[in-house]
Amino acid sequence: MKTPAPEIFDELDPPRRLLMGPGPVTADPRVLRALAMPLLGQFDPAFTRYMNEVMVLLRQLYQTQNRWAFLVDGTARAGIEAILVSMIVPGDRVLVPIFGRFGHLLAEIARRCGAELTTIETAWGTVFPPERIIAAIEKTRPKLVALVHGDTSTTMAQPMDGIGAACRRHDAYLYVDATATLGGMEVAVDRWQVDAISAGLQKCLSGPPGSSPITFNDRVALLVNGRKHVEQGIAPQGFVPGNGPAIRSNYFDLAMLMDYWGPERLNHHTEATSMLYAARECARIVLKEGLDACFARHRMVSEGLVAGIEAMGLALYGDRGHKMANVTGVVIPEGVDGEAVRSALLADFDLEIGTSFGPLRGRIWRIGTMGYNATEKNALFCLNALEEVLRRQGFATAPGAGSAAAEARFRAGRPA
């Protein structure tokens, strides 16, 4: 039989796109450079120093004094799964308020962890008044409330006032998914009384998907350590396992991860070296700019983009009072083929904007202005490209109206 000729492809040379969807967004070149740094062994003192530095940086990013702040290797849902599988014992009551696709994801993961689940829902494009969540906590008395902060599927940000305090009053833990908001909007873990929280790199942190920064407090550490079962091949002599049922995942076992990130440095997985470098750089860049400056930049670019969209005769999607500062939903006008517009933007402008799913499929575009991409220039470029492509689709707007309105907003926001 003839040996097939080897299939060898060309060297990678991806097109240079401006990624302005709901994530991943264009990575900061400094993060890409960090990814290319030489590998180190995971117990090399230089590497463990970087691990410790990451913990210090993440605490500042999350505005917390928590001892535990580290990375879970995997995309943002790896952080979600690690927290939920480590906290939920089958049969535990869990409450998930759902205002978009990612609330459904939390419910789905909690269900797989064996939770006795209660969900409450509100229409997509709106958020819950906090009192409604608090009333549900009082009624269902859950062990855990799992809540999305900013749901990119609907572009809405849930107000957090009073929810953490209500959880404390009723002896519940609060977990928050801040995947899409960390670094782009205020995420104040200690002030909000959040017990555990997670995120990803690929949104306002301007990194690649593949690492999930998390933090949790001592209440959670105590709970999880009560379920600690260390792998036999690495358990120190005389190790006594916790009384609670073993965590159902090895990879996502927060008790073993604490021993890996803590002074014990007990071997668990092989830390994703390059992703740790990337995460360190992502956090460093945001903190160097300053959290408040970074949030203000996201807010300003978003306001300019919205002004431009509306000046073009397009409608903003959802409750404007609770719109995330880093992603904008735009209603696809009647008679316009939303996917054709996205394809033309990609082909002719190397610009990616987002589609949507579930009940919003084919109804809105989602434009991300996150992290490295949240600039006035990018917002103007996007508005001009959209104007051009829409004109070709027969949706004419006054030439330059979008970018003029955005510029006016930007000018008004600059110091005199």
Ligand X SMILES: Cc1ncc(COP(=O)(O)O)c(C=O)c1O
Contacts of 250-254 spanning 24+ positions with Cβ under 8 A = 252/72, 252/78, 252/81, 252/82, 252/85, 252/86, 253/82, 253/85, 253/86, 253/229, 254/82, 254/83, 254/86, 254/216, 254/220, 254/224
Minimal distance, residue 79 CB to ligand X, in Å = 8
Distance from C-alpha of 335 to C-alpha of 361, rounded to nearest angstrom: 15
**Minimum distance from CB of 102 to ligand X (Å)?**
4
Q: Angle at the Cα of 17 (from 38 to 27), degrees rounded to 5?
A: 40
Q: What is the rounded distance in angstroms from the CA atom of residue 97 to the CA atom of residue 314?
A: 30
Residues that bind ligand X (CB under 6 A): 22-23, 75-77, 102, 148, 151-152, 177, 179-180, 200, 209
Tell the smallest beta-carbon distance from residue 151 to ligand X (Å): 5
Comparing CB distances to ligand X, the nearer of 103 and 338 is: 103
Q: Give 180 or 276: the residue with its C-beta nearer to ligand X.
A: 180
Q: What is the dihedral of CA 100, 101, 104, 110, to 10 degrees?
A: -120
> Judged by CB, which is closer to ligand X: 148, or 405?
148
Question: Which one, 172 or 185, has the nearer CB to ligand X?
Answer: 185
Shortest reach from residue 313's CB to ligand X, in Å: 29
Q: Is the Cβ of residue 152 or residue 328 nearer to ligand X in the bound state?
A: 152
- Mention every residue, 6+ apart, whose C-beta is less than 8 A from residue 42: 48, 270, 271, 273
Closer CB to ligand X, residue 23 or residue 213? Answer: 23
Across the beta sheet with 315-316, the strand order is 315-316, 327-331, 364-368
* Nearest approach, Cβ of residue 92 and ligand X (Å): 21
Choose among 289, 288, 318: nearest CA to 306.
Answer: 318
**How far apart are CB 80 and ligand X at their closest, in Å?**
6
